[in-house]
Structure 1
Amino acid sequence: MRIVVSGTHASGKSTLISDFSLRHPEFTVLPDPFELVDETIDAPGAALFASQLRIAAGRLSNEAPDGDLIAERGPLDFLAYLLARAELTGVSLDSEFLQRASALTTAALTTVDVLILLPLAPSDAIDVGDDEHPELRAAMNDVLLELADDPSLVGDHLTIAEITGRPAARLAALEAVLARAEDRRPL
């Protein structure tokens, strides 16, 4: 089973994955691609997001370990960040770049079984300071949810679920989604 947990920054991805991995040690955990980028790029700009998109896609497509895995973020997250940033700055993305990024995202998602979305919800608000770029956080959240609804981008093979609530409820919801996805997998 290959799972990607997606969401804007400070949406609970790390907590959910940590809780899940404690109960499911058989899963390999792929960390947030931010941990793997060049440390000299720290501003939330197009170069940083493009780099993370390549890392996220590559580790799902080329470098993924055999067996069960759960990844913190996938290429869809960084495509959403790129589009959200373009929307906020008013600077359009190069159409060829956007086409390549979309194709890379689509190809990587063909290797994924379950996409978990952690949308921002008032009931489980996680407070962030201004240093966390709240406008970008909100814009990315909206774009991510739109992208996840695009079958030409995510395909029709994925089980996609939005999960909200407190950490224990999110874990239970994730496990329920996986049980349903397992039931539908071919033998």
Structure 2
Amino acid sequence: MRIAVSGSHGTGKSTLITELAAVLPEMIAIDEAYDVMLSDGAAFGERLRVDDFEALCEREVELVDASNGDLVVFDRSPADYLAYMVALDADAPSRKLITDVGEAMEMIDLVIFVPVEEPDRVRVTPELPRLRKRVHALLREMLVEDGWGWGVPVLEVRGSMEDRVHQVVKHVASLR
């Protein structure tokens, strides 16, 4: 089963994955493409640009395609990086990239959508708050509302981290 934890920056995705790993020992956690590329020696500027997000998106597609295991959980999905590209420049993604993202998303069995909540649960002020809200809205459209037609099941989690973990564990158990 492939699960992607998706959401804008500063919503608690990585923390959720860490907490899930503590209660789902069989889970294989896959770092987000940004961290994978950094560990592979890639260099990014202080602020990511559209072409950076394109490279990240392509790498995330590769990570999904190469994954296997009973319970694989991705920190981000290809849709996340596509949303950042669209938020920065709606005309930036090529048709090929959109097709590749769609094919990768169809390989994912469940998306855990971590929204920006009101009041915001993030204790530190995230960088680029406008971009954060724009990406949140795009991901909601793409995933929750299935506006891009990928048809991937989505579980939107809310509440405390304990509540979020409980929601995911209960949902995953129902799918097994």
Give the TM-score of the pair, scaled to structure 1: 0.84
Match of 2:157 among 163, 166, 183: 163
For 2:175, the equivalent position in structure 1 comes to 181
Q: Shift in Å at residue 141 of structure 1? A: 0.4
Residue-by-residue CA offset, 1:53-77 (whole Å, 9 max, x unaligned) = 111111111x213332000001010
Identical-residue share of aligned pairs (%):
24
- Whole-angstrom CA distance in 1 between matches of 2:61 and 2:149: 13
Amino acid at match of 2:5: V
Higher helix share: 1
Q: Is the 8 A contact 1:159 1:181 kept in 2?
A: no
Match of 2:139 among 133, 139, 144: 144
For 1:24, the equivalent position in structure 2 comes to 24
Runs of 4+ in 1 over 3 A off after TM superposition: 127-130
Question: What's the secondary structure of 2:174's corresponding residue?
Answer: helix
Q: Decide whether aligned partners of structure 1 residues 56 and 79 sit closer, same or farther in structure 2, where only a CA change above 3 A counts.
A: same
For 1:43, the equivalent position in structure 2 comes to 47
For 1:98, the equivalent position in structure 2 comes to 94
Q: Is the 8 A contact 2:44 2:52 kept in 1?
A: no
Amino acid at match of 1:93: D
Amino acid at match of 2:140: L
**Aligned residues: CA RMSD:** 1.7
For 1:68, the equivalent position in structure 2 comes to 71
Unaligned runs of 5+ in 1: 87-91, 183-187
Question: What's the secondary structure of 2:154's corresponding residue?
Answer: strand
Q: Shift in Å at residue 34 of structure 1? A: 1.2
Q: Decide whether aligned partners of structure 1 residues 69 and 59 sit closer, same or farther in structure 2, where only a CA change above 3 A counts.
A: same
- Whole-angstrom CA distance in 2 between matches of 1:40 and 1:110: 29
- Whole-angstrom CA distance in 1 between matches of 2:156 and 2:171: 10
Question: What's the secondary structure of 1:5's corresponding residue?
Answer: strand
Question: What's the secondary structure of 1:57's corresponding residue?
Answer: helix
Q: Is the 8 A contact 1:42 1:48 kept in 2?
A: no
Question: What's the secondary structure of 1:70's corresponding residue?
Answer: strand
Q: Is the 8 A contact 1:8 1:137 kept in 2?
A: yes
Question: What's the secondary structure of 1:164's corresponding residue?
Answer: coil
